[in-house]
Structure 1
Amino acid sequence: MATQLKALDHSAMQTSRAVRMGVLLAAFVVNAPWLVAITGVLMLAGTARGRGDFGFIYRALRRAGWISPDLIPDNPEPHRFAMGIGVVFLAGSTLAFLAGLPILGWVLTWVIIGLTALNLFGGFCVGCAVYYWMNRVGLRGFVKAPPPGVIPGQRPSRPD
């Protein structure tokens, strides 16, 4: 099935990933589970709206001229799905903290830190790959296929 790609601003997504990872690392270093909860709420809002969780920071950096858009043809749905998975993990983390299980809370937080780092530095989105695999096996609702020539989960390259 042919997929209608949209021009997605990968600079915005990379900025959100970098800020998310920084906030979650800072939360761990200073033992501030409330920062994990706030990050989860921002990710939930971003997932629901189809925008980045830290898009407001990207927009400020862009207005200041420190960042430029990087528009690449891509599917937004897998990225929203991946953020939704992150929301589930950070919600679980927050519930673990509230239940007095800080080790579990930090383990779940570190899963998101690791997956975010893999995407930020390695260009591979595990949540996107899962989305595309679900599309491949025909699960209802997973209607987008990876862009042509792109390994599921891999960041698409810029068009020539």
Structure 2
Amino acid sequence: MDIDVRGPRFGAAVTTVVLAVVLITGNVWLLAWQTLAFACGMAGGVGRSPYGWLFRRVLRPRIGPATDFEAPEPPRFAQAVGLVFTVVGLVGFALGPDWLGLAAIGAALAAAFLNALFGYCLGCEMYLLLRRMTVRTG
């Protein structure tokens, strides 16, 4: 079943704020929260992430029905990519080196920002590229 495209963009906007705060403060607990949010989005789809739940329960009833939809697989893959970056960030901040955490979270922040502001999902594009490559070779 296709998903409302506004949901992942909302999640990306919240993620952008969370990751920006993590970069500014170095708060490992907030980064752990974001890692959990990515894990939920990867395991159950973006609708099952905390930000997807918030969008579905609070925001969507106020903005009306969806007019644009997308397949759930690319955003779910993007959540997995975000999870990898936040796990690397957690390792960098918790065990060192700090630059590893900063670089990983900076990259994740850039991806979330692009999705939130421009609707360009790097993880989704990676998914589509990988699908094209596997269809041609497989």
TM-score by length of 1: 0.74
Distance (Å, rounded) in 1 between the aligned partners of 2:59 and 2:68: 19
- The unaligned stretches of length 5 or more in structure 1 are 1-5, 141-160
Look up the match of 2:59: 61
1:85 aligns with 2:88: no
Q: Percent identity?
A: 30
Greater length-normalized contact order (CA 8 Å, ≥ 6 residues apart): 2
Instruction: Report deviation, 1:123.
Output: 2.0
Which of 1 and 2 has greater Rg? 1
1:106 aligns with 2:72: no
More helix by share: 2
The alignment yields a C-alpha RMSD, in angstroms, of 1.9
Distance (Å, rounded) in 1 between the aligned partners of 2:96 and 2:23: 16
1:124 is paired with a residue of what secondary structure? coil
Distance (Å, rounded) in 1 between the aligned partners of 2:2 and 2:67: 5
- The unaligned stretches of length 5 or more in structure 2 are none
Report the residue type matching 2:83 in the other structure: V
Q: Which runs of 4+ in 1 moved over 3 A?
A: none
Look up the match of 1:26: 21
Of residues 89-98 and 71-80 in structure 1, the stretch that sits farther from structure 2 once superposed is 71-80
Query: 1:35-83 CA distances to partner (integer Å, 9 max, x unpaired)?
Result: 11210111101210113431232122335x2x33434232111111111
Query: 1:17-42 CA distances to partner (integer Å, 9 max, x unpaired)?
Result: 11111111112222212211210111
Q: Is the 8 A contact 1:14 1:120 kept in 2?
A: yes
Distance (Å, rounded) in 2 between the aligned partners of 1:56 and 1:132: 25
Look up the match of 1:136: 132
Report the residue type matching 2:9 in the other structure: Q
Q: Is the 8 A contact 2:12 2:112 kept in 1?
A: yes
TM-score by length of 2: 0.85
